[in-house]
Amino acid sequence: GDSVTQMEGPVTLSEEAFLTINCTYTATGYPSLFWYVQYPGEGLQLLLKATKADDKGSNKGFEATYRKETTSFHLEKGSVQVSDSAVYFCALRIPAAGNKLTFGGGTRVLVKP
Amino acid sequence: EPEVTQTPSHQVTQMGQEVILRCVPISNHLYFYWYRQILGQKVEFLVSFYNNEISEKSEIFDDQFSVERPDGSNFTLKIRSTKLEDSAMYFCASRIERTNEKLFFGSGTQLSVL
C-alpha cells in the first residue's frame, strides 16, 4: 500500500539555521505530494504541494522538490525563525484513487532564539 | 482565513460509552473528512463524505463508527461503544471541491477513553 516515511524528531535548531526534513514515499499510483504544518493548538495547514515530478512547491521560505527517481519530497528552509516551531507532516494523495491523504508520522521542529 | 471548528477540544469518556465529536466545516465546502492520530503514531484517514453519503472509508472505520451531516452545517463523528484504543486526536477536514488540493483541518478533539 501507499506509505510516507519522514525523519523522526524532535529537531532542535537555532534561529537562522538551515532546516531539512527528509520525506520518502511509496505509492501504487502517481501521487501528489504535500507538506502540512501544525502550529501549537491549531489544526494542520497546507504548507506547500507538488503534483508532478520535478515540480517545486514553495511557501513562507520553505521549499520541497518532487523527486520521482528517489521517491522523495524533502522539506528545506534556509533560515528558520522561532515562529517556525511546529510539527511538519509529509503526505501523499493518489488523485486517481480517491481523496484521502496518507501521512507520515510528523516531525517536531523547535527553533530556539 | 475561514476555519474548520471542532468541539469539544477535549473529551473524556468511559469505555463502552457513546461519543459524538462535532465539526463545523467551512460553509461553502462540499467534501468532508475525519482523520485521527493516536499518540505517537501517524495521522490516519477514517472517512470521507460527500453529498450526504460516505464516499470512502478506511479499515478503521468499522460498524462502531458513523458520520452524519444532520443540519447542513455540522458534521459529526459518532463512536457507538468506545474502546480504549479509540483514544486519539480526531481531526475534521473539509475541501471546497474534489479537484482542489487544499484541505482545511480543524484543530482537533482529543478523545480519552478510560
Give per-residue burial for A28-58: e unless 16+ CB within 10 Å, then b: eeebbbbbbbbeeeebbbbbbbbeeeeeebe
Instruction: Give pLDDT tens digits for B16-46.
Output: 999 999 999 998 899 999 999 998 888 999 9
Q: By three-state DSSP, how is residue B103 classified?
A: coil
Task: Say yes or no: A52 contacts chain B, CB-CB below 8 A.
Answer: no
Phi, psi of A27 (to 5 degrees): -145, 145
What is the rounded distance in angstroms from the CA atom of residue A33 to the CA atom of residue B43?
A: 15
CB contact under 8 A, B55 and A49: no
A91 pairs with which residues across the strands? A34, A103
pLDDT given for residue B90 in this prediction? 97
Q: Report how far apart, in Å, the C-alpha atoms of B46 and of each of A16, A21, B49 are.
A: 38, 26, 10
Task: Say yes or no: B43 contacts chain A, CB-CB below 8 A.
Answer: yes
pLDDT given for residue A43 in this prediction? 85
What is the rounded distance in angstroms from the CA atom of residue B3 to the CA atom of residue B102?
A: 13
Q: Please say whether the beta carbons of A34 and A91 come within 8 A.
A: yes
CB-nearest partner of B107 from A41, A93, A103: A41
CA A43 to chain centre: 15
Q: Which residues in chain B have Cβ-Cβ distances shorter than 8 Å to A44?
A: 43, 91, 93, 105
CB contact under 8 A, B43 and A45: no
CB contact under 8 A, B41 and A34: no
| Percent of chain B whose predicted confidence (pLDDT) is above 90 | 79
In B, minimum Cα distance to A101 occurs at B45
* Grid cell in block for residue B3: 476555519
CA B83 to chain centre: 17
Cβ-count burial of B28 within 10 angstroms (0-12 exposed, 13-18 middle, 19+ buried)?
Answer: exposed
In B, minimum Cα distance to A6 occurs at B42
CB contact under 8 A, A32 and B55: no
Per-residue confidence of chain A (113 residues) as pLDDT tens digits?
Answer: 889 999 888 999 999 999 999 999 999 888 999 999 999 888 899 999 999 999 999 999 999 999 999 999 999 999 999 999 999 999 999 877 777 899 999 999 999 99
